[in-house]
Amino acid sequence: MPEIGIHTRLRRSPYYDATVAAGVTAFSPYNNMLLPLAYGDPDGEYRQLMDGVSMWDVGGERQIQLQGPDASRLAQILCARDLSKALVGQGKYVAVCDHRGVIINDPIALKIDDDCWWLSIADSDIRMWARCVAAERGLDVEVSEPDVSPLAVQGPMAEDVVASIFGDWVRDLKYFWFGDAEIDGIPLKVARSGWSKQGGFELYLMDGSRGLDLWHIVAEAGAPWNIGVGYPNPAERIEHGLVSWGGDCDDQTNPFEVRLTRFVDLDVPDDTIGIQALRQIAADGPTRHQLGIVLDGDERRPGHTVWYDVLSGGEKVGRMTCGTWSYKLERNIGYGLVSTSCSVGDPIEVALDDGLRAAKFVDIPFRIEDR
């Protein structure tokens, strides 16, 4: 594969030098930043996350800050989920939709203060979107991208590592809640969150000049638990059912189609962007849904960059979006974004680069029995 060319558009995170020293072998652009995606040992990196603890440079998960008297109003206009009861220190997983009800980002919304929100975004430019909406609606709010760069600590041992640094109060944090902390003069927020289902925390570094210091503090504190390096792990996240907005959604996808219904509140105010469309889609019933796909055959396929057609009875019924080798099933698995006429158990074929492959639909999350 050709390399990704270096350019000032592609920003380094504050942890960049540490990831290079740790042997990073691949980056992916994410919000115009370099997000580590491999350290050369995919099997070991998966096991490290499943059985131990790993630290991830997810500085590319940028914060879009809404600050000012209308910050909460703007947050609610942007997010199709009721934020009115959120408390300072609470985060919520939300869908940001356009006027068609199409999901254009799936951030965590963090209530920083009564007049301040962060949207911890996936890979699309919500700063521009939010700024435009604020101006068009005449709101008194400043939209910015502050100097904040999350470092994730994920895996079953993550809580012990993070508690050893910051104290036992972190053990009481509820999911997506966060608190202020300081270590060695480094300002940050500690949240129970992270893009895996193995449990863990995210340290929202609030001074980019101290990134390497924070990295070394975590690496040293984690040494007794044999902490390793990692990244948002495609095999773990697909096995366990997390959606990648950029990878599993196209320019037509609404939240109901990708199992995000429970994060949408249809009774938010009428001025929430996309809510009329979402109400209509909910009333009509979505035309596509997301099912798991297990491919026949136990040879390990490389990752793919295109969506494959999915055929049922010879007819195209949708596409397979992201896929991965599953360590758990010892099969190649992935997500299908397919017609609601499709059901679990249907025999299907997937049009891979090297020909049609028999497969079947299964429930998400994937279970070993389903292979």
What is the Cβ-side half-sphere exposure of residue 178, based on CA atoms within 13 angstroms?
28
Instruction: Tell me whether residue 178 or residue 308 sits nearer to ligand THG (CB atom).
Output: 178
Residue number, 106 or 239, with CB nearest to ligand THG: 106
Q: How many residues bind ligand THG (CB under 6 A)?
A: 14
122 to each of 127, 244, 285, how far by Cα in Å?
12, 8, 26
Nearest-10 crossing angle of helices 71-78, 126-136: 110
Contact range with ligand THG by CB under 6 A, out of 102-110, 162-170, 319-327, 344-352: 102-110
Q: Least separation, in Å, of the C-beta of 262 and ligand THG?
A: 8
Residue with tokens 């050893």: 164
Closest separation in Å from C-beta 121 to ligand THG: 6
**Which residue's CB is nearer to ligand THG, number 312 or number 326?**
326
Instruction: Tell me how far apart the alpha carbons of residues 72 and 109 are, in angstroms, rounded to a whole number.
Output: 11
- Tokens 């396929």 locate to 301
Shorter beta-carbon distance to ligand THG: residue 193 or 321 = 193
When the beta carbons of 191 and 294 are compared against ligand THG, the nearer one is 191
Where in 36-65 is the site for ligand THG (CB under 6 A)? 61
Applying CB under 6 A, which of residues 18, 78, 121, 229 lies at the interface with ligand THG? Answer: 121
**Smallest distance, ligand THG to C-beta of residue 290, A:** 12
The interface with ligand THG within residues 232-251 (CB under 6 A) comprises 242
Establish if 148 lies at the interface with ligand THG (CB under 6 A). Answer: no
Give the orientation angle of helix 158-166 with respect to helix 211-222, to 10 degrees.
120
Contacts 24+ apart (CB under 8 A), 171-174: 173/201
CA 364 distance to own-chain centroid = 17
CA–CA separation, 359 vs 23, rounded Å? 36
Phi then psi for residue 337, to 5 deg, are: -105, 100
How far lies 214's CA from each of 39, 74, 147, 171, in Å? Answer: 20, 32, 15, 20
Closest approach, Cβ 311 to ligand THG, in A, equals 29
The residues in 212-231 that bind ligand THG, with binding defined as CB under 6 A, are none
Contact map string, positions 184 to 203, toward ligand THG, x by CB under 6 A: ---------xxx------x-
Which of residues 152 and 293 has its CB atom nearest to ligand THG in the complex? 152
Q: Which two tokens stand for residue 194?
A: 């992270």
Instruction: Return the number of the residue (42 or 241) whose C-beta is nearest ligand THG.
Output: 241
Q: How far is the CB of 244 from ligand THG (least distance, A)?
A: 8
Q: Left if phi > 0, otherwise alpha if psi is -120 to 50, otherwise beta: which for 48?
A: alpha
Residue 150: CB minimum distance to ligand THG, A? 5
Q: Which is nearer to ligand THG, 62 or 288 (by Cβ)?
A: 62
CA nearest neighbour of 141 among 125, 117, 163: 117
Nearest distance in Å: CB 127, ligand THG = 14
Write the binding mask 289 to 328 for ligand THG: x where contact by CB under 6 A, - elsewhere: ----------------------------------------
CA neighbor of 252 nearest in space, from 100, 124, 361: 100
Shortest Cβ distance from residue 102 to ligand THG (Å)? 16
Contact present, 175 and 193 (Cβ < 8 Å): yes
Question: Among residues 53 and 242, whose Cβ is nearest to ligand THG?
Answer: 242
Alpha-carbon span 154 to 174, nearest angstrom: 15
Q: Among 13, 19, 120, 198, which residue interacts with ligand THG (rule: CB under 6 A)? A: 120
Cα–Cα distance measured from residue 348 to residue 333, given in angstroms and rounded to the nearest whole number: 13
Rounded least distance, CB 193 to ligand THG, Å: 5
248 CB-contact burial (10 Å; exposed 0-12 / middle 13-18 / buried 19+): buried
Residues near ligand THG (CB under 6 A): 61, 93, 106-108, 120-122, 150, 193-195, 202, 242
